[in-house]
Structure formats: C-alpha cells, structure tokens
Amino acid sequence: MSDQAKIIALHGGLILLLFALQFVLPAYHHGNLARIMVLASYAIGYNILFGYTGLLSLGHALFFAAGMYGMALSIHHLEWAPAPALLAGLVAGILVSGTLALLALRTTGVAFMIVTLMFAQAGYLTVLYFGEYTRGDEGFVIQQAQRMLWGVDLSDPVNRYFAAWGLLTVCFLAALWLVRHPFGRTLIAIRENEERVRMLGYNTFAHKLTAMMISGTIAAAAGAFYGLLFGYAGASFATVQYSIFPLLWVLLGGAGTVLGPFIGTLFMFYLIDLSSGITTAYMLIAGVALVALTLFAPQGLVGELRRRFWGWLP
C-alpha cells in the first residue's frame, strides 16, 4: 500500500470511527466526546501556527473568545439566528487574528510569545470591562430556542454530537490538505529555517500572516461552535488557561502532526476527568503524566509513532 493510501485509510478511518461511536457510546462519554471534538478543532487551529509554522503563541484564547462572543452577543443582543451568528463569530476571528498578526509578527521568539499573551489578557479585560453586555465572569446562557439551526435543535445530544463531528471533520480535512499543499510545505520550511526560505525568494511575513489568520479563524470557529452547542459564553474562556490548553494538547499529541491535536485533547481530557475522581489534587497527576511524556515521548504520542514506526504520517 502506498503512503498516500495509508494516509487516506488512517485519517478517513478515524472520521468514520467517530461517526459510528455516536450510536454505541453511553450518554456520559457521548457528551464528553462531543466536547472533545470541538476542543480538538481548536487544537488543530493552534497546531497550524505552532506545530507547522513554528510560532509559539500564548494568546489563542483571544481568538477562541472572539468567535464565541461574536456568535453569542449576536444571538443574545441582536437576536440573530444561529447561522448568521456563527458567521459573525468567524468574521470576528478573522479580524482579530489579522490585526494581532500584523502587530505580533513584527517580533520573534520570546517577544512574540509575550505580545500574544498581552493581547489575550487585554481581550480578557475587555470582556470584563464591558460586563454590562458580556456579563463578565458570570457569562450568560444561550437558550434552547436560540439554538435552532435550520430547524435542527442543537441542544439535543445527538444533533450536538453530529455538529461537533462535522466541525472536526472539516478542520481535520482542511489541515490535512493544507500541510500537503505547497503553502503548507513552505510553512514547514519556515519552521525549520526561515532565513533560508527568505533567501529562496519567499515572502515569509505573508506566509506567517496567512498561517496566523487561518489558525485564528479555526480557533474562532471552535469557540463559536462551543458556545452554541453547549449553550454558554463566559469570560473564563478568554483567560490564559485557554491559551495554555491547546499548547498542552498539541504537545501531548504531537506538534506538526495532523492526528496529534485530537489524540492530545482526548488524552488530556480523560486524564483530568479520571484524576478528578481520585483526588482533588488532580492536576498533580496530570503534571506527572506530562513530565513522563516529556521524558519518554518528547515528540508527543503521534510524533513518537511517526519517528519510530510510521514515517509517512503527515
């Protein structure tokens, strides 16, 4: 079997498996997997910037929250239907990521990390400052009647699962296409040696700008879907914690791999879920697991599989 066929079989098989699980999972894991698929879409967006372009951002919560509030405020205050509200969330993500990219990409390395972190914190404080509209830390609930998309009730667990599966499938296939496209190959080259890519005549700033906007738009889409599917928008999703989460998920699963963000999100979600049932110090268990993975699987779970066995993994 050719490498191309293996890639199609593996990634297509995962999509079909997630589709089939809808019919067999018990209610608790059914709801968990729907949440994981939305968060994994967020991680896929982050991976495009960090894993493939080599830019470590600590401000992706800004994009996630931009999509969530672009959608939620449109429904809550403007009484828009879910479809245009989701579009508003995407537009918010494009505008915010484009603006931040133009400013942050003037820096490199640690300075880039700090600038993205500062803007994310500014976004969080903005949500709190306009608490009259956003309800700040308390947030607000999106009512069931406001979550009807083209006559489909997204508060229903089955419909919510399929919507989350559809989002993950689109993000998954888009990432797979992107990294195998010449543009994606150029991003990988920038990650490995930006100066050499620039010497070959490529506009590295334009490529990084586009990568950051794609990454931010996917993150915003995940934020908008998360708010709509689970019926809540709050300032907690704009905190630094939600900038660190996608970094951890990508590192756990394998930075620069298409499968890595989903595997990392799944692993971390259930690690915390199971640990919290054992002790209140569940983050200690998560921390030990992270240290162990760093020591014994430094390239992440999927990254190690690619290094040791499946060199054809994208």
Tell whether the model's pLDDT for residue 4 goes beyond 90: no
Query: 50 with 190: CB under 8 angstroms?
Result: no
Phi, psi torsion values for 126, nearest 5 degrees: -65, -40
Specify whether the backbone of 300 is left (phi greater than 0), alpha (psi in -120 to 50) or beta.
Answer: left
Least confident stretch, 31-35, 71-75, 131-135, 294-298: 294-298
Query: 50 with 112: CB under 8 angstroms?
Result: no
pLDDT of residue 91: 96
How many angstroms separate the CA atoms of 87 and 74, rounded? 10
How many angstroms separate the CA atoms of 211 and 195, rounded? 17
Query: Do the domain assignments include residue 298?
Result: no
Mean pLDDT estimate for the chain: 92
**Average pLDDT estimate for 170-180:** 93
pLDDT of residue 136: 85
Query: Do the domain assignments include residue 12?
Result: no
**Average pLDDT estimate for 231-241:** 92
Query: Do the domain assignments include residue 14?
Result: no
Query: 246 with 255: CB under 8 angstroms?
Result: no
pLDDT tens string 62-83: 999 999 999 999 998 888 999 9
Least confident stretch, 64-73, 191-200, 240-249, 277-286: 277-286
How many angstroms separate the CA atoms of 249 and 42, rounded? 10
Query: Domain range for residue 171?
Result: 25-239
In this prediction, residue 305 has a pLDDT band, given cuts at 50, 70 and 90, of: confident
Query: Do the domain assignments include residue 248?
Result: no
Number of Cβ within 10 Å of residue 219's Cβ equals 34
Query: Do the domain assignments include residue 211?
Result: yes
How many angstroms separate the CA atoms of 150 and 244, rounded? 35
pLDDT of residue 116: 96
**Average pLDDT estimate for 291-309:** 86
How many angstroms separate the CA atoms of 220 and 38, rounded? 11
Amino acid at residue number 187: L
**Average pLDDT estimate for 21-37:** 94
pLDDT of residue 274: 86
Q: Using a pLDDT cut of 70, give the percent of the chain over it.
A: 100
DSSP 24: T
How many angstroms separate the CA atoms of 250 and 215, rounded? 13
Query: Do the domain assignments include residue 267?
Result: no
Query: Do the domain assignments include residue 135?
Result: yes
Query: Do the domain assignments include residue 69?
Result: yes
pLDDT of residue 58: 93
Number of domains in the chain: 1
pLDDT tens string 247-261: 999 999 999 999 999
**Do the bridges between strand 140-141 and strand 232-233 make them parallel or antiparallel, or are there none, so unpaired?**
antiparallel
In this prediction, residue 278 has a pLDDT band, given cuts at 50, 70 and 90, of: confident
In this prediction, residue 287 has a pLDDT band, given cuts at 50, 70 and 90, of: confident
Tell whether the model's pLDDT for residue 180 goes beyond 80: yes
**Average pLDDT estimate for 123-141:** 90
How many angstroms separate the CA atoms of 47 and 265, rounded? 12
pLDDT of residue 54: 94
Tell whether the model's pLDDT for residue 166 goes beyond 90: yes
**Average pLDDT estimate for 26-50:** 96
How many angstroms separate the CA atoms of 224 and 238, rounded? 13
pLDDT of residue 276: 84
pLDDT of residue 249: 93
